[in-house]
A and B are shown apart, each in its own frame.
Chain A
Amino acid sequence: MRQFLRVAWVVMRKDLTVEMRSREIVYTTVFFAASCVLVFAFALVREGRPLEDAAAGILWISIAFAGTLGLGRTFERERHTETLRALMLAPSDRPAIYVGKLLGILALLAVVEAVLLPMIGVLFHAPVMASPGWLLALLFTGTVGFASVGTLFAAMLVRARSRDVLLPVLLYPITIPVIIAGVRGTAAILQSAPDEPMARFWAALLLFFDVVFVTLSLWTFEPLMTE
């Protein structure tokens, strides 16, 4: 078990170290997410002003799109330098490599969300500080659900054709329930009178999804990555 965690940690540290050198993926993904929010804010207007009820939906859409982009770019880098194959050749627990890559993606999405939340608060007058505990719980469980499936499929697609368009094609039908739960829970929290029981319900459902998706991903990572 400790070996497993150590491998995961090492993989994640490698990803973060490489990223910190150029910071290319972080900057471009955050910028893309922010642009997404703006595009939707200006597309969904009522009487010339952004729809305030749409804040939760726009937040999660931007996370999903930015996440897909970030996943694609991260694994493109892996493919370019063939590090994934090198990792596979190492005598370590394959699922640990998956967990390491997942942690790296989660770190990226955490940065994105840290930027998006204040944006949402300001642009939509949303009370993001009203129930920070539940909001963070929803964001965390939702992001894990999305990223767990995304990491698995992005890793798989490294060697496939049409990989850029296939990632969303595969990812979205499976993670739409996660997005739905995230949006409904966040909307409950961002109301003028935060509905905490509702948020708890959706957070519990997200936790359920997380358990199922992470378990399935851990089971299938090894047979999928070996020839």
Chain B
Amino acid sequence: MSRVFAPLAFVVMALFAVAPIIVSNAPYEQTMGLVQKVFYYHVPSAMLMFISAFVCGIASAVFLFKRSAAADRVAVAAGELVVLFGIVVLVTGPLWARKAWGVWWEWDARLTSSLLLWMIFLAYLLVRRYGGPGSEKLAGAMALFGMANVPFVYVSVNYWRTIHPKTSVVMTLGPGMRSAFWFCAVSFGMLYVLLLTLRRRLEDQQAQVERLYLALDD
């Protein structure tokens, strides 16, 4: 694993260094102008927030139903990343909205449900930290409900009257925008894999530490 880690980290850093150049070469959007370029970081972060919520939910299901401690460690890592990418989405979005819509925030379906999804996984982390023994299972249940929330967040923008751009935007991008977007999406995706692996390794090592403490006590 460590043999893959260093080159992967290098690749991710290179991608992120190149990204601003690629983004500035992408064409402007007709109505929103320069500020639309937040899109290239905002949407991949949102995609990863959803993907991470799924990873956390599935890992929690495996943990609850198959009693796999390893799955629980993946779930914790994924849960933290939902909150991290969620913060990114919830800060870059309003910065874009301030220019595009004139307001920092709107209580429309997409924004409200995204905020709630983020809060569900924040509660996931809180209960793991402060719930005492046995709180991993409770957190797992939280993650399952959070995962069930994700499709709802995703389609909310297509079915409710909302000012947030629809999901059709990504699939109908023009060639200049499309390449920039998918470049950023791939960079973020690789970054996500890197962070997930690192965080999970931290959990594995902590579990090992606890095992060793118990072994020493005997």
Contact = CB atoms under 8 A, between A and B. Distances in A.
29 contacts: A149-B145, A152-B141, A156-B141, A160-B131, A160-B134, A161-B130, A162-B130, A162-B131, A162-B132, A166-B127, A166-B130, A166-B131, A169-B123, A169-B126, A169-B127, A170-B127, A173-B120, A173-B122, A174-B145, A177-B116, A180-B112, A212-B148, A216-B148, A220-B141, A223-B64, A223-B65, A223-B67, A224-B137, A224-B138
Contacts, number: 68
A160 B141 CA distance: 14
Contacts of A176: 116
| Band of interface residues on A | 20 to 34
B113 interface: yes
B8 interface: no
Contacts of A223: 64-65, 67, 137
Interface residues of B, number: 28
A13 B65 CA distance: 30
Q: Chain A interface secondary structure, helix, strand, loop or mixed?
A: helix
Contacts of A152: 141
Given A161-B135, A169-B127, A173-B122, 4 more contacts: A160-B138, A162-B131, A173-B116, A216-B145
B113 A156 contact: no
A177 B113 contact: yes
Contacts of B141: 152-153, 156, 220, 224
Nearest to B124: A170
B90 interface: no
B26 interface: no
Interface in B76-129: 112-113, 116, 119-120, 122-123, 126-127
Interface centre among A153, A170, A216 (most CB of B within 10 A): A170
